[in-house]
Structure 1
């Protein structure tokens, strides 16, 4: 679609607004096993500020599911139980009810049971910063052999260092504009920043290219609501990731994630994590608490110790607990 191709946007909300407005205008005449959709073919765009990776809108403020999915990737996991805690719909994509064939984590960090692509690219870029070979492959030729409920939508991730900044180029064969696109931009720009910190350089731009970007007819109401909320003039930037190798902190955060999800951890020790990673651990804890009654005061206390940018995501969780309390009192 020529009118959107190669446009630059400052925030995720800028992208979503442009994409939803265009997809809502188009005919819903593409049919597949997931439903009827409108479609943009061959779309490319650039996010100039990768830290503006979270939506400020009421309907798309999904910090918890995006964070959960990112940590699923970083853990190198394909376990359904892990990701289902954050995104229940994944159960429909499992072939065996236990794992996800197309999970990105094993492909990023243990491709074909032996290749840590992320680490290999880190070494390559360290040795030759101007290389054009720094490409991670997610879609594999073997994905078309046999039948699977879901295979990777992402084909490749390329890193390019130019003007001493790390740019990322993601190529996708298919992208669900409403559910998938916000999650993909969050996860990939976080990977971009992790790589930038590993290399000791600054973030550049994030570039996204997709063969088929689509909106299903069942998502029309929500997409229309998003557009109706009005233009998000101010982006919501996450704080810069702390300088230095982030992997020790990521490992600590993954321990918190597993402990919180399984109920073994109920508090976040501020002495164990940098403020940046502590905020993310507290988001995970708040998400867990929001499924229990009478936790609203604890959630508010935790929120008071966090970066204020996360308030927009936490407030709906407090409302969720209040509804649970009201239902219990009926």
Structure 2
């Protein structure tokens, strides 16, 4: 059993990777269809400040892919085309229908059908009975266990509780890839937690991430996971900056505006302007999605500097870091961004 509790994602990840990289006798060596990994069977990770969900490390700069995955979930989408825009073409290998849809897509299971979803149920329940222990969203189902699929959900349940006037979330995973999956999962699930807290009118409590099989793959065709994790641990401490607080009140009007803007940019309509009334919190996420799509499309524009300068500091340094790495890559099309 492995337990770690920290107030920032970087501290939590460093402890986790250090354990998986160690020669601890309780670590398991496991072979699976994705390769050989080092596993801790039974882990509980606690993030005491769920807003401190973005790593500040160069090697863990997942801002664009995390925001993109969040949009995919909130939209209730299950198409490979959408998520591949952020996570790359390799995601198609997890499709059961030739790269069109993802069987295990969480958003469709959580947020659809609108008005009668699992999300709507837990919000209604906690409004009526704040002390309830039944506000559980089930993602992994009996049907998943019975079918042959390339994409079986790793997440089993999201369990929301109200305690001491704060909304806490306990997530349980059957399996979690510590290098790629873990930081993305914590980002999205703590965003769900904060959105639910705002919708219900509570403060944000702690986030607990329980995993049966928490594992770190050896370097293989999917990527140098073990090498990168070791480099990350050796990189040392980073500036701890949390995301700003989500505006109070129902977040869905703003979230829908964000999703509309994200869709326009993903489809190449870079002239689209989100509503000026959109709170800064959501406008930043709109800008992050626009920056990603414009850079992915290799658009030359004089908008970059102004867009980046208006971002909250918690995003700005991560965007600049990604730009710096892209600009220094073999793809000289990103040389237009070197001056930033």
- 1:251 CA drift (Å): 0.5
- 1:10–1:235 Cα contact (<8 Å) kept: no
Cross-structure match for 1:24: 21
Listed one character per residue, the Cα deviations across residues 229-262 of structure 1 (whole Å, up to 9, x for unaligned) are 1023x42200000111000000000001110000
Preserved contact between residue 137 and residue 157 of structure 1 (Cα < 8 Å):
yes
Task: Specify whether residues 269 and 116 from structure 1 end up closer, same or farther in structure 2 by C-alpha distance, changes over 3 A only.
Answer: closer
Structure 1 211/79 Cα, relative in aligned 2: closer, same or farther at 3 Å? Answer: same
Corresponding residue of 1:42: 42
Q: Mark the CA change 1:139 to 1:294 in structure 2 (over 3 Å): closer, same or farther.
A: closer
Q: Which runs of 5+ in 1 are unaligned?
A: none
Q: Which residue of 1 aligns with 2:169?
A: 168
Q: Give TM-score, length-normalised by structure 2.
A: 0.90
Q: CA deviation at 1:109?
A: 1.8
Distance 1:35 1:114, change over 3 A: farther
Q: Is the 8 A contact 2:28 2:40 kept in 1?
A: no
Q: Which residue of 2 aligns with 1:106?
A: 108
- Contact residue 17 and residue 231 of structure 1 kept, 8 A: no
With structure 1 as the length reference, what TM-score do the two structures score?
Answer: 0.93
Shift, 1:265, TM fit: 3.5
Distance 2:256 2:9 in 1: 27
Shift of residue 327 of structure 1?
8.4
Aligned 1:24-103 pairs, distance under 5 A? 24-26=21-23, 29-88=29-88, 89-96=90-97, 97-103=99-105
Count of aligned positions? 324
Give SS of 1:86's match.
helix
Q: 1:262/1:326 Cα in 2 relative to 1: closer, same or farther (>3 Å)?
A: closer
Superposition map of 1:64-213 within 5 A: 64-88=64-88, 89-96=90-97, 97-110=99-112, 115-213=116-214
Unaligned runs of 5+ in 2: 220-224
Residue 274 of structure 1 is matched in structure 2 by 279
- Checking the alignment, whether the CA contact within 8 Å between 1:266 and 1:285 is kept in structure 2 is no
What's the secondary structure of 2:44's corresponding residue?
Answer: strand
Structure-2 residue corresponding to 1:325: 332
Q: How many Å apart are 1:29 and its aligned residue?
A: 2.7
Structure 1 residues 131 and 326, CA gap change in structure 2 (3 angstroms)? closer
**Aligned equivalent of 1:239, options 215, 239, 244:** 244
Deviations 1:33-70 (A, max 9, x none): 00010000110121100000000000001111011111
Distance in 2 separating the partners of 1:317 and 1:295: 17
Is the Cα contact below 8 Å between 1:174 and 1:210 reproduced in 2?
A: yes
The change in CA–CA distance for 1:138 and 1:326 in structure 2 (over 3 A counts) is: closer
SS at match of 1:50: coil
8 Å CA contact retained: 2:270, 2:294 = no
Separation (CA, whole Å) in 2 of partners of 1:295 and 1:316: 19
How many angstroms apart in 1 are the aligned matches of 2:45 and 2:163? 18
Q: Is the CA contact (8 Å cut-off) linking 1:267 and 1:285 kept in structure 2?
A: no
Pick from 284, 288, 297 the counterpart of residue 283 of structure 1: 288
- CA RMSD in angstroms comes to 2.0
